[in-house]
């Protein structure tokens, strides 16, 4: 499995180091899978990286609360206690309604802010129009000039 990502390392020492990270990632995934309630975990192209090389991913969430607080939205809140005669399903899965695209690989860039924003737009369009149309994350990333395209941004920047 280690060689399926076709990596070229500068030295045998680096390959040994990367293999150790890969084995650690594989063990962590096996542990996650043991306690999974149906979620499927797998190795990605980041499996040979140390945790500090991957980033913690929290940067994308830094102003999510501020973003929601500053949006002028008319939220539709439905309290099921106010509608006792209407039956609510015990579960609902948008994947079975073809309103969610497959998981996409963002590579090593910290562009989850783009991928998550585009996924929301794709799903909203599918729910509204009945067509799941994949959109281009790369287009949004390319429009982020003069910024470093791999730099962490916020969903607000992707949606503007």
Query: What is the set of domains in the chain, with CATH numbers?
Result: 1-54 (no CATH), 57-160 (3.90.70.10)
Whether the full predicted model's pTM is greater than 0.95, yes or no, is: no
Give the torsion sign (CA, 115, 121, 122, 127). Answer: positive
Q: DSSP string of 27-94?
A: HHHHHHHHT-SS------TTTTS-HHHH--SGGGGTTHHHHHHH---------GGG-TTS---S---G
**Cα-Cα end-to-end distance for the chain:** 40
Residue-level pLDDT at 77: 64
What is the spatial distance between Cα 142 and Cα 47, in angstroms, rounded to a whole number? 26
Residue-level pLDDT at 10: 92
Residue-level pLDDT at 13: 93
Q: Which ranges of the chain have pLDDT less than 50?
A: 57-65, 67
């Amino acid at each position: 499995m280690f060689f399926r990502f076709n990596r070229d390392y500068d030295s045998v020492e680096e390959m040994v180091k990367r293999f150790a990270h890969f084995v650690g990632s594989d063990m962590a995934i096996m542990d996650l899978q043991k306690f999974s309630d149906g979620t499927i975990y797998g190795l990605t192209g980041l499996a040979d990286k140390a945790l500090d090389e991957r980033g913690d991913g929290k940067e994308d969430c830094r102003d999510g609360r501020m973003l929601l607080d500053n949006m002028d939205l008319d939220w539709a809140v439905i309290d099921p206690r106010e509608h006792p005669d209407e039956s609510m399903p015990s579960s609902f899965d948008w994947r079975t309604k073809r309103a969610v695209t497959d998981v996409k690989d963002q590579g090593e860039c910290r562009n989850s802010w783009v991928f998550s924003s585009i996924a929301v737009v794709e799903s909203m369009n599918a729910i509204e129009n009945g067509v799941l149309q994949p959109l281009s994350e790369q287009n949004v990333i390319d429009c982020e000039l003069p910024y470093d395209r791999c730099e962490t941004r916020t969903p607000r920047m992707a949606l503007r």
